[in-house]
Amino acid sequence: MATTKKASKKEATKGSSPAANAQAKVDPKDAGKRKLGLRGAAPWAARHAAKHAAEARARAAEPPLPGSARATIRTPTGADDIKAKIGDLHNAVVQIKGFRKNLNKGFFDIGNVLRDIQTRRLYEAKGFGTFEAFLEREIDLGKTTSLRLVKASQVFQKQAALEYGMDRVFNALIALETPPEELLSGKLPPAPLSAPSLPLKPPGR
């Protein structure tokens, strides 16, 4: 009977985890010594790290001194507004690309989107100094055509513009922008794109 109890005790110690075995072999002399925390870190290390984190947060909340290194890495003034404008500009360009797939039906909507970009000065969010510079670099329609589309959205109603088509609307704009003496002399700029020559008369008149 005694032998079976001893054997069961040995099996219990063999089946226990290494951590339990190590805990069982702790020397009584070491019981009074300071215990270390996770992965051997002393308890004061966590308090020390928390204190430094609090001090860092307090320093970040204070305005930096002029010329300090921290002043150059702080968030610029109006950063949220700049991010919002960049997002709106990106969405507008995506819309223009969608309307561009069917230019004959989408030219008036392109003019409206471009006019919104111009009015809200969204192009400045990407570092463009002028609206024209933005058109040259970001819009594949070209500066002249894009500006005419903006003008068309200001001068004409959408239904009338779509009824006459982009080429006739452009011809009407050319006629409106040409000085009277040039109209009388017959010296007119060439028709846009590959459109045939049309009467120099604005739609609806």
What is the pLDDT averaged over residues 186-191? 56
Residue 4 domain-assigned (yes or no): no
Residue 23 domain-assigned (yes or no): no
Positive or negative: CA dihedral 132, 103, 110, 183: positive
167 Cβ partners below 8 Å, 6+ apart? 191, 192, 193, 195, 198
The answer on pLDDT for 43 being more than 60 is yes
Residue 139 domain-assigned (yes or no): yes
Q: Which domain holds residue 87?
A: 79-156
Structural domain count, the chain = 1
What is the pLDDT averaged over residues 97-106? 93
Residue 38 domain-assigned (yes or no): no
pTM, to two decimals: 0.54
The answer on pLDDT for 197 being more than 50 is no
The answer on pLDDT for 97 being more than 90 is yes
Residue 137 domain-assigned (yes or no): yes
79-95 tens-digit pLDDT: 788 889 999 999 999 99
Residue 136 domain-assigned (yes or no): yes
Residue 130 domain-assigned (yes or no): yes
Residue 103 domain-assigned (yes or no): yes
Tell me the pLDDT band of 62, cut-offs 50, 70 and 90.
confident
123-168 tens-digit pLDDT: 998 899 999 999 999 999 989 999 999 999 999 999 999 999 999 9
The more confidently predicted of residues 111 and 67 is 111
The answer on pLDDT for 205 being more than 50 is no
